[in-house]
Copies of this chain bind each other. A is one copy, B any other.
Amino acid sequence: MTAGRSAAAKTGVTRVVCEQLAPRVGDLTHNKGLALDAVRRALADGADIVVLPELVTSGYVFETAEEARTTAIAVEDSFFSDLSAVLAGTQGVVVLGFCQDGGDTLYNSAAVVDASGVRAVYRKTHLWDRETLFFTPGDRTPPVVDTAHGRIGVLICYDLEFAEMPRRLALAGADLIAVPTNWPLVEHPAGQYPAEIIQAQSAARANGVFIACADRSGVERGQQWTQGTAVIDQFGWLASAVTGPTGPTASGVASASEQRAAADLFLHLSRDKAISPHNDLLGDRRPDIYTQETPLL
C-alpha cells in the first residue's frame, strides 16, 4: 500500500483506476497475465478499485463457439485465486469481465474480486450482436457489493444503454457502477464524445452515481474500439477519460494516447440525492406514472 493511498483512505477518498487493455483473442494464458499485471500496476498507483475490460481473459471477436469455449473459466479457476493473492494485504477491489464456463453453456460475465476471493459474479443480460451466437444471457439482476470503499454495482457494456439497469443499481444503493466493456468503434460527429460515453454520463447524472468504464485498446481481427475508458462523477461529468471528443481535446481530459483513466473520488457523495431544496433524484420518481398505459390520441 502506498503512502498516497493510505492518506487518501483517511480522508475518505477512493482512487478508481480503469485499465484499457488489449487482450489476445483465444490466448487465455497471456490474457490472465495481462490482467494480473494491470491490477499490480494499478495497485502500485494507489488504486482502491480497479476496473478491467469485458471478456479481458478471453478476447472478444470469436470466430466460433468452440473458440469461445477454449477461453472459458469457472470461478474455481486458479486465475481468481491468483488475483486474490495479488490483492492480499490491501483493501483493493477488482471488477473484470471473463468468459464464464457454465457447464453446457457460456456466459459473458463480470466478477467482483477482493483479497477474500470472488465476492460476486454477474452474467450479462443484454447481449450485443454476435455475442448472441456464443453466450447465454443471464437471468439475474446485477448485484451491489458492499466493500470497504463503498457499494459497487456491476453492468457489462450494452447493459448500460438500458436506463432501467443503472436505475435498479442506484435504487439498491450503489455508489459506483463498474462497467467492463468492449465498445466497437463507430463514427460520431466532430465535437461530440462517443455515444456510449454520453449514455454513461446521462446514467450517472440521472441517478447521482459514479460510473467507471474500462474499454479496449488495440485492434482485434480488424475490430477497432472506441477507447471510451472513463471515470464519470455523480453529476455526469468526466473526471478522467482516455478519449476526448473528435476535434479539439477538451480541457481536463487525457490525450488519446493515454491508456488509463484514474480519478480520486468521494464516493459517499453519491448518497446525497438532493439536487434542489425541493428535489431528490430518486425520491422524485413517479412509479405510479411509469406503469400507466400511455394513451394514443
**Which stretch from A33-41, A95-103, A209-217, A247-255 is at the chain B interface?**
A247-255
Beta-carbon contact of A276 and B128 below 8 Å:
yes
Beta-carbon contact of A236 and B198 below 8 Å:
yes
CA distance A128 to B284 in the complex (A): 9
Q: Which residues between 171 and 213 of chain A lie within 8 Å of chain B, taking CB atoms?
A: 171-173, 188-193, 195, 198-199, 201-203, 205-206
Complex interface: chain B residues within 8 A of A253 (CB)? 191
- Residue among A198, A237, A292 with the highest chain B CB neighbour number at 10 A: A198
Complex interface: chain B residues within 8 A of A127 (CB)? 278
Q: How far is the CB of A185 from chain B (nearest CB, A)?
A: 14
Beta-carbon contact of B191 and A202 below 8 Å:
no
Beta-carbon contact of B143 and A297 below 8 Å:
yes
Beta-carbon contact of A173 and B296 below 8 Å:
yes
Beta-carbon contact of A278 and B141 below 8 Å:
no
Complex interface bits, A17-29 against B, C-beta within 8 A gives 1, otherwise 0 = 0000000000000
**Which stretch from A2-10, A75-83, A160-168 is at the chain B interface?**
A160-168
Q: How far is the CB of A87 from chain B (nearest CB, A)?
A: 17
- Residue among A142, A158, A164, A205 with the highest chain B CB neighbour number at 10 A: A164
Q: Which residues between 122 and 141 of chain A lie within 8 Å of chain B, taking CB atoms?
A: 125-133, 137, 139-141
CA distance A165 to B253 in the complex (A): 32
Complex interface: chain B residues within 8 A of A13 (CB)? none
**Which stretch from A52-60, A144-152, A223-231, A257-265 is at the chain B interface?**
A144-152
Complex interface: chain B residues within 8 A of A188 (CB)? 237
| Further 9 A-B residue pairs, CB within 8 A, beyond A143-B295, A190-B252 | A141-B290, A141-B292, A144-B294, A163-B206, A164-B290, A173-B296, A190-B250, A195-B201, A198-B236
